[in-house]
């Protein structure tokens, strides 16, 4: 009885693709009290890890490279701080903030055209604000495809490169978008002699100075990328089959599976001891099939349903109803399996595996980006304008040779606290993707397995989460014990502690930064902190560990009045996590 309501809701959300044709795109991240001045800027979740509000004196929307050059020149002459924002600004960390109150935001929203598609050479040249959705659609119209990409349409080419975003593969040139860049134009500050700004053209071939290796993944600190040329492939077909297995041999499979299937990934539900394997390979284009992937988590959801879903979870958190969370988690998983994860054989119905179709219909999706803007009716699940999902994301990659031990450690942890990761199942489990070593200075050092974990975040920063300690232990285990590399565009502050030291070529990156922007106009407090140039990455204060702003060293960093005290980890003893010690009170 108790379950009826959530069951219906989840069905509604996961199984009925588009009862409502009107989805609606996320909000503009930049808002100004006057037209283009006195602005605040946020990310698409409406909250940075530290929940600070970020201000800028002005925003500019250049619509050509020429305008971009003059914007950068003006700001350089005035020694003004600058940062680049994008159409939706999907990164979680505070990358987009310029320091102080006088900063300038340069938005790439109007730098949004595909400039040229060379079918013969299979090259596409784009302005940096073009979204993944646009790129995929326009390339397919010319019979071309980007082989590996993130799964979400709403990212821009500049933003994807900025944080080293990727899909999943160990094959070919690898999983990251930046490894398909052959040419790039970037606008950087300059001196009076060059009118304060210059356009630099970088080529992947003949990159003697390593500038391209720096610019491919730059966190936006080198200047503004104006245009990007990517190497594509002829459009091809894929055949996808999801196979559900128990997770007994997951730690062995993890290293092998990615070599067996070109687009392999694994979704892991540790509490249910289940793993979904994506067996996904190219097939000849004469194999019939018009399959479509419409990721359930990226669809437009009625705002009313989102509110009920969120309230249910808040209620379970408040009451300490772990069993309720586990039930909902199982239900979500069952519905996902039944619904083939949003796959259909023909764009309408799922009739069975394999699902075969063109790359452009299977590689990414984003139902909630379509249609007019009316968040009161439907929204992306995380849209901050409505009461919807609000979560943390801990995302890191661990080199393949160490992934086995990491998985076993997590399994041991779940062995000790069996229900501790149920909450993760409600956010589609732990997504594991294959990522490849790259020559980009801030790209992956070696072939690795990327773990993507999404979990409940309270609207109240002082309020602990159920089984807070287990996720904190996994986070610290990943980055400290297994030297995991945090995704630059996700994570809480803690994951970035010591991260830059893991990059062999960090110094080379900083040399290029010094050469392109000696005054650090494109750098901010946050970029300096993650690049190891200044302190303050973690913030030690009351309750700081709850939001991942610090690693606790005293009880006060947790929530002692609610029974959460700073304690060692259960498997990784060096971890310091907020554990529920006393019987918890309801408030």
Ligand X SMILES: *[C@@H]1O[C@H](CO)[C@@H](O)[C@H](O)[C@H]1NC(C)=O
Ligand Y SMILES: Cc1cc2nc3c(=O)[nH]c(=O)nc-3n(C[C@H](O)[C@H](O)[C@H](O)COP(=O)(O)OP(=O)(O)OC[C@H]3O[C@@H](n4cnc5c(N)ncnc54)[C@H](O)[C@@H]3O)c2cc1C
Q: Which residues contact 272 (CB under 8 A, 6 or more apart)?
A: 329, 330, 333, 425
User: Under the criterion CB under 6 A, does residue 195 sit at the interface with ligand X?
Assistant: no
Q: Scan residues 288-347 and list those touching ligand Y (CB under 6 A).
A: none
Q: Scan residues 387-426 and list those touching ligand Y (CB under 6 A).
A: none
Helix axes 250-260, 400-416, angle to 10 degrees: 150
User: Considering CB distances under 5 to 8 angstroms, the limit depending on partner class, which of ligand X, ligand Y, none binds residue 248?
Assistant: ligand X
Least distance from C-beta 455 to ligand X, angstroms? 25
Residue (of 125, 122, 231) closest to 178 by Cα position: 231
User: Under the criterion CB under 6 A, does residue 33 sit at the interface with ligand X?
Assistant: yes
User: Considering CB distances under 5 to 8 angstroms, the limit depending on partner class, which of ligand Y, ligand X, none binds residue 165?
Assistant: ligand Y
Q: Scan residues 37-56 and list those touching ligand X (CB under 6 A).
A: 38, 40
User: Considering CB distances under 5 to 8 angstroms, the limit depending on partner class, which of ligand Y, ligand X, none binds residue 71?
Assistant: ligand X
Region of 68-76, 257-265, 399-407, 508-516 interacting with ligand X (CB under 6 A): 68-76
Q: Which residues contact 514 (CB under 8 A, 6 or more apart)?
A: none
Least distance from C-beta 273 to ligand X, angstroms? 7
Q: Is 294 within 8 Å of 561 (Cβ atoms)?
A: no
At which residue do the structure tokens 């690049």 appear? Answer: 531
Sign of CA dihedral 63, 64, 67, 69: positive
Residue (of 373, 454, 359) closest to 88 by Cα position: 373
Q: How many helices (H) and strands (E) does the chain have?
A: 14, 26
User: Helix, strand, coil shares of the chain as percentages rounded to 5?
Assistant: 30, 25, 45
Q: Is 330 within 8 Å of 272 (Cβ atoms)?
A: yes
Cα dist. 93→223, 367, 496, 537 in Å? 19, 25, 10, 11
User: Under the criterion CB under 6 A, does residue 70 sit at the interface with ligand X?
Assistant: yes
What are the φ and ψ backbone dihedral angles of 367, each rounded to 5 degrees? Answer: -50, -35
Region of 66-74, 130-138, 320-328, 423-431 interacting with ligand X (CB under 6 A): 66-74
Least distance from C-beta 88 to ligand Y, angstroms? 5
Region of 160-168, 198-206, 413-421, 436-444 interacting with ligand Y (CB under 6 A): 160-168
Query: Given candidates 42, 76, 89, 169, which one binds ligand Y under the rule CB under 6 A?
Result: 89
**Residue 107 β-bridge partners:** 85
CA 51-56-57 angle, to 5 degrees, is 150
Measured between alpha carbons, how far is 132 from 154 in angstroms, rounded to an integer? 6
Region of 205-213, 219-227, 508-516, 552-560 interacting with ligand Y (CB under 6 A): 219-227
User: Considering CB distances under 5 to 8 angstroms, the limit depending on partner class, which of ligand Y, ligand X, none binds residue 155?
Assistant: ligand Y
Q: Quick one: DSSP state of residue 218?
A: -
The mark string for 232-271 relative to ligand X (x by CB under 6 A, - otherwise) is -------------xx-x-----------------------
User: Under the criterion CB under 6 A, does residue 74 sit at the interface with ligand X?
Assistant: yes
Q: Record the tokens describing residue 234, joined without a space.
A: 């002829």
CA 87-89-90 angle, to 5 degrees, is 125
Q: Is the peptide bond before 86 cis (omega within 30 degrees of 0)?
A: no
User: Considering CB distances under 5 to 8 angstroms, the limit depending on partner class, which of ligand Y, ligand X, none binds residue 286?
Assistant: ligand X
Q: Scan residues 473-532 and list those touching ligand Y (CB under 6 A).
A: 489-490
Q: Scan residues 424-453 and list those touching ligand X (CB under 6 A).
A: none
User: Under the criterion CB under 6 A, does residue 286 sit at the interface with ligand X?
Assistant: yes
Query: Given candidates 205, 284, 585, 586, which one binds ligand X under the rule CB under 6 A?
Result: 284
Tell me how many residues contact ligand X (CB under 6 A): 12
- List residues binding ligand Y (CB under 6 A): 44, 83-86, 88-91, 95-96, 108, 128, 150-152, 155-156, 158-160, 162-163, 165-166, 219-220, 224-225, 489-490
- List residues binding ligand X (CB under 6 A): 33-34, 38, 40, 70-71, 74, 245-246, 248, 284, 286
């Amino acid at each position: 009885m108790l379950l009826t309501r959530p069951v219906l809701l989840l069905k509604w959300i996961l199984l009925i693709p588009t009862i409502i044709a009107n989805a609606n795109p996320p909000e503009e991240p930049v808002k100004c009290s006057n037209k283009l001045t006195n602005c605040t800027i946020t990310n698409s979740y409406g909250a940075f890890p530290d929940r600070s509000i970020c201000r800028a004196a002005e925003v500019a929307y250049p619509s050509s490279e020429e305008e971009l050059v003059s914007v950068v020149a003006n700001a350089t002459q005035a020694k003004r701080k600058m940062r680049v924002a994008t159409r939706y600004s999907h990164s979680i960390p505070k990358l987009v903030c310029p320091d102080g109150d006088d900063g300038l935001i340069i938005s790439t929203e109007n730098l949004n055209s595909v400039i040229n598609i060379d079918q013969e050479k299979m090259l596409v040249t784009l302005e940096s604000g073009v979204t993944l959705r646009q790129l995929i659609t326009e390339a397919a119209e010319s019979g071309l495809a980007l082989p590996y990409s993130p799964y979400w349409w709403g990212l821009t080419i500049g933003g994807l490169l900025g944080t080293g975003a990727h899909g999943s593969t160990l094959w070919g040139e690898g999983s990251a978008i930046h490894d398909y860049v052959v040419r790039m134009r970037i606008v950087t500050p300059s001196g009076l002699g060059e009118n304060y700004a210059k356009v630099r053209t970088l080529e992947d071939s003949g990159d003697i100075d390593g500038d391209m290796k720096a610019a491919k993944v730059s966190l936006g600190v080198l200047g503004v990328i104006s245009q990007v040329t990517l190497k594509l492939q002829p459009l091809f077909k894929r055949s996808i089959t999801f196979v559900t297995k128990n997770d007994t041999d997951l730690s062995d499979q993890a290293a092998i599976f990615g070599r067996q299937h070109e687009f392999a990934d694994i979704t892991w539900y540790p509490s249910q001891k289940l793993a979904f394997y994506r067996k996904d390979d190219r097939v000849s284009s004469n194999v019939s099939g018009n399959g479509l992937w419409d990721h359930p988590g990226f669809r437009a959801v009625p705002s009313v349903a989102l509110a009920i879903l969120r309230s249910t979870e808040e209620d379970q958190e408040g009451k300490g109803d772990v069993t309720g969370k586990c039930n909902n988690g199982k239900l979500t998983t069952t519905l996902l399996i039944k619904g083939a994860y949003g796959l259909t054989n023909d764009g309408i119905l799922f009739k069975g595996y394999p699902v075969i179709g063109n790359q452009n219909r299977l590689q990414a999706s984003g139902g909630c980006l379509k249609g007019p803007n009316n968040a009161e009716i439907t929204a992306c699940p995380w849209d901050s304008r409505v009461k919807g999902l609000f979560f943390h994301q801990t995302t890191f990659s661990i080199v393949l040779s160490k992934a086995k031990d990491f998985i076993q450690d997590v399994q041991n942890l779940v062995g000790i606290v069996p229900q501790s990761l149920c909450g993760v199942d409600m956010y589609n489990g732990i997504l594991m993707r294959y990522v490849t070593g790259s020559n980009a200075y801030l790209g992956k050092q070696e072939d690795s397995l990327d773990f993507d974990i999404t979990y409940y975040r309270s609207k109240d920063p002082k309020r602990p989460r159920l089984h807070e300690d287990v996720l904190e232990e996994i986070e610290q285990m990943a980055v400290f014990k297994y030297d995991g590399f945090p995704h630059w565009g996700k994570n809480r502050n803690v994951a970035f502690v010591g991260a830059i030291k893991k990059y062999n070529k960090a110094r080379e990156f900083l040399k290029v930064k010094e050469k392109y922007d000696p005054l650090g106009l494109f750098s901010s407090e946050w970029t300096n902190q993650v690049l190891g140039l200044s302190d303050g990455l973690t913030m030690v204060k009351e309750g700081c560990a709850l939001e991942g702003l610090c690693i606790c060293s005293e009880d006060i960093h947790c929530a002692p009045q609610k029974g959460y005290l700073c304690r060692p980890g259960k498997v990784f003893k060096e971890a310091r996590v907020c554990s529920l010690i006393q019987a918890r009170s309801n408030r």
